[in-house]
């Protein structure tokens, strides 16, 4: 096995060894077919039940099922009363929706660098980023690892700020025994194809605050004050969107929700095994799980220590070369996000709506700087990371994990053979 597969050797991970996510069984088929045959394909009975079941599972008083996690994030901002010219703190490294949801309601994202170890917002840099216009913090539980919510909520209380939990990747993840989505003022989850709870597409807004729930629901359904479960007058009382879910998707989500705890246990077991098998590989920085945090292993994210492997050139060039060699071994490694948020044009150009809006509205953007150089930890992570989702997920077991680990050992044991220029 010493000859790398990219040079003609045998693959460490045999073809077909890693199974696709999510597993589909008779529960999924029966519930989806029952919805299909039920005749109500818009916001139907499965939507209502999905909301109730998810709220009970996660520990929330209210839940609203949406057509995406992005929609749920927008609803969170509205529920918190965020409006034109308000500043909202958010991590400098995440999916774009974590920050574009702020723009959706004409507010201004203010970025905070990450803590390199956890990849989450550096909670020790939050207070320095607060401005007189700051109204909220979006705490992103990235890749399934919760932010230190004790520190976030303490800062929010001190400065009278709202806290939105972006839990789109963090289903079931814990902080000191509490589930994500239960510690802030409201939260958003995503049920996209690759999420730990998959319904193809979809999302969920959750809160324990009735007035927040009502504000989110108004945005969610055309600006109306009554939901599809109530008697509607079809009158738009405020600016609204159409963010509702549909019955087929909700049926699929309910089926997957019935199995999520078993999925979580598999991911935890596989994540622990992979940590054990990869420990000690020179040049490989393993994921960090601080004390009091329980990772859901949505994404098993690794970084390369360029100094340890003796590489002095562009880190992304070497990272990409190593990743190509890993893929040749059958290891499904990939770069999740190749730009930090402040480096994305929608923010750097400060022109989301044309005419410089919302930054130009009432001088709301004065003093807000999106220079990528201000976020060194995010930049370091961005150029050295890669990750995996499927190997730790059901129905994959320890055999799949062991093959993936073998691929990593093989590649890093022969790292001197890798020429990034070729």
User: pLDDT (tens digit, 0 to 9) for every residue of the chain, 422 residues total?
Assistant: 579 999 999 999 999 999 999 999 999 999 999 999 998 999 999 999 999 999 999 999 999 999 999 999 999 999 999 999 999 999 999 999 999 999 999 999 999 999 999 999 999 999 999 999 999 999 999 999 999 999 999 999 999 999 999 999 999 999 999 999 999 999 999 999 999 999 999 999 999 999 999 999 999 987 776 777 777 777 777 778 899 999 999 999 999 999 999 999 999 999 999 999 999 999 999 999 999 999 999 999 999 999 999 999 999 999 999 999 999 999 999 999 999 999 999 999 999 888 899 999 888 888 999 999 999 999 999 999 999 999 999 999 999 999 999 999 999 999 999 999 88
Element (H, E) at 174: strand 174-175
Q: What's the rounded Cα separation, in Å, for the pair 169 and 188?
A: 10
Same domain, 149 and 213: yes
Whether 410 is in a domain gets the answer yes
Same domain, 142 and 280: no
CATH number of the domain encompassing residue 406: 3.90.1150.10
Query: In sequence order, which residues have a C-beta less than 8 Å from that of residue 315 and are 6 or more positions away?
Result: 304, 306, 380, 383, 384
Same domain, 220 and 281: no
Count CB atoms within 10 A of the CB of residue 329.
23
Q: Which domain holds residue 271?
A: 5-22+261-337+379-417
Whether 342 is in a domain gets the answer no
Measured CA distances, 78 to 73, 142, 225, 278, 330 (Å): 9, 22, 14, 43, 44
Query: In sequence order, which residues have a C-beta less than 8 Å from that of residue 303 and are 6 or more positions away?
Result: 284, 285, 381, 384, 385
Whether 199 is in a domain gets the answer yes
Same domain, 171 and 312: no
Q: What is the pTM of this model?
A: 0.95
Q: What's the rounded Cα separation, in Å, for the pair 78 and 104?
A: 10
Domain boundary at 241, 259, 277, which? 259
CATH number of the domain encompassing residue 235: 3.40.640.10
Residue 354 has a pLDDT of: 87
Same domain, 192 and 66: yes
Domain boundary at 199, 232, 259, which? 259
Of 296, 265, 258, 224, the C-alpha closest to 53 is 258
Domain boundary at 213, 236, 259, which? 259
Same domain, 272 and 241: no
Same domain, 321 and 389: yes
**Domains held by the chain: number:** 2
Measured CA distances, 371 to 113, 118, 340, 374, 379 (Å): 12, 22, 11, 6, 11
Q: What's the rounded Cα separation, in Å, for the pair 310 and 129?
A: 36
Same domain, 13 and 138: no
Whether 403 is in a domain gets the answer yes
Same domain, 47 and 149: yes
Same domain, 255 and 286: no
Q: What's the rounded Cα separation, in Å, for the pair 38 and 31?
A: 10
Same domain, 64 and 127: yes
Whether 362 is in a domain gets the answer no
Q: What's the rounded Cα separation, in Å, for the pair 288 and 116?
A: 10
Same domain, 136 and 162: yes
Q: What's the rounded Cα separation, in Å, for the pair 193 and 172?
A: 17
Q: What's the rounded Cα separation, in Å, for the pair 241 and 122?
A: 33
Count CB atoms within 10 A of the CB of residue 355.
10
Whether 348 is in a domain gets the answer no
């Amino acid at each position: 096995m010493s000859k790398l597969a990219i040079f003609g050797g045998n693959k460490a991970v045999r073809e077909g060894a890693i199974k696709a996510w999510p597993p589909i069984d008779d529960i999924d088929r029966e519930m989806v077919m029952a919805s299909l045959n039920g005749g109500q394909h818009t916001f139907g009975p499965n939507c209502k039940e999905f909301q109730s079941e998810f709220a009970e599972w996660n520990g929330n008083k209210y839940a609203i099922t949406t057509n995406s996690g992005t929609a749920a994030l927008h609803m969170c901002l509205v529920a918190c009363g965020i409006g034109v010219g308000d500043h909202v703190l958010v991590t400098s490294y995440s999916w774009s929706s974590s920050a574009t949801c702020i723009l959706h309601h004409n507010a201004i994202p203010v970025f905070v660098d990450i803590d390199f170890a956890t990849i989450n917002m550096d909670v020790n840099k939050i207070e320095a980023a607060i401005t007189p216009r700051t109204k909220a913090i979006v705490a992103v539980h990235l890749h399934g690892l919760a932010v230190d919510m004790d520190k976030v909520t303490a800062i929010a209380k001190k400065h009278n700020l709202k806290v939105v939990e972006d839990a789109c990747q963090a289903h079931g993840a814990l902080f000191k025994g509490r589930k994500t989505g239960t510690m802030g003022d409201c939260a958003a989850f995503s049920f996209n194809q690759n999420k730990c709870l998959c319904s193809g597409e979809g999302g969920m807004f959750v809160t324990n605050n009735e007035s927040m729930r009502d504000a989110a629901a108004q945005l969610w359904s055309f600006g109306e004050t009554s939901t599809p479960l109530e008697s509607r007058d079809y009158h738009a009382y405020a600016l609204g969107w159409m963010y509702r879910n549909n019955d087929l998707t909700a049926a699929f989500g309910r089926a997957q929700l019935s199995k999520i705890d078993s999925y979580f246990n598999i991911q935890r077991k596989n994540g622990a095994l992979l940590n054990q098998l990869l420990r000690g590989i020179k040049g490989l920085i393993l994921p960090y799980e601080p004390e009091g945090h329980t990772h859901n292993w949505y994404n098993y994210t690794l970084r390369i220590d360029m100094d340890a492997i003796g590489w002095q050139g562009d880190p992304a060039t070497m990272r990409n070369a190593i990743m190509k060699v890993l893929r040749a071994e059958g290891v499904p490694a990939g770069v999740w996000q190749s730009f930090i948020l402040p480096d994305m044009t929608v923010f750097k150009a400060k022109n989301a709506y044309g005419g410089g809006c919302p930054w130009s509205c009432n001088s709301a953007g004065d003093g807000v700087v999106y220079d990528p150089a201000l976020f060194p930890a995010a930049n370091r992570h961005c150029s050295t990371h890669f990750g995996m989702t499927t190997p730790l997920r059901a129905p994959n077991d320890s055999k799949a994990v062991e093959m993936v680990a073998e691929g990593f050992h093989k590649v890093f044991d022969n790292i001197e053979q890798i020429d990034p220029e070729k």
